[in-house]
Amino acid sequence: MNHSVKKVNMGVILCRHCNALIDTVDTNRIATFYGVCNQPECRQQRSVTNASIRDVTEEE
């Protein structure tokens, strides 16, 4: 019986912008983490958001 070698990743890391599966992690229970994937569009969204907040703050 070789069933004991079966590996299951219960944790997933999703992109907060496009919900793409970034990676899986070994956890003892089901878990979902959010990050930003490698797509330029998603990374730019994060940069733009930070820049917008800064611009608004500087105006006041």
The residue ranges that bind Zn ion (CB under 5 A) are 15, 17-18, 20, 37, 39, 42
With respect to Zn ion, which residue has the nearer C-beta, 11 or 20?
Answer: 20
Q: How far is the CB of 57 from Zn ion (least distance, A)?
A: 26
Q: Considering just the CA atoms, what is the radius of gyration of the chain in Å? A: 18
Q: How far is the CB of 14 from Zn ion (least distance, A)?
A: 9
What is the spatial distance between Cα 37 and Cα 17, in angstroms, rounded to a whole number?
A: 8
Q: How far is the CB of 45 from Zn ion (least distance, A)?
A: 8
What is the spatial distance between Cα 22 and Cα 7, in angstroms, rounded to a whole number?
A: 18
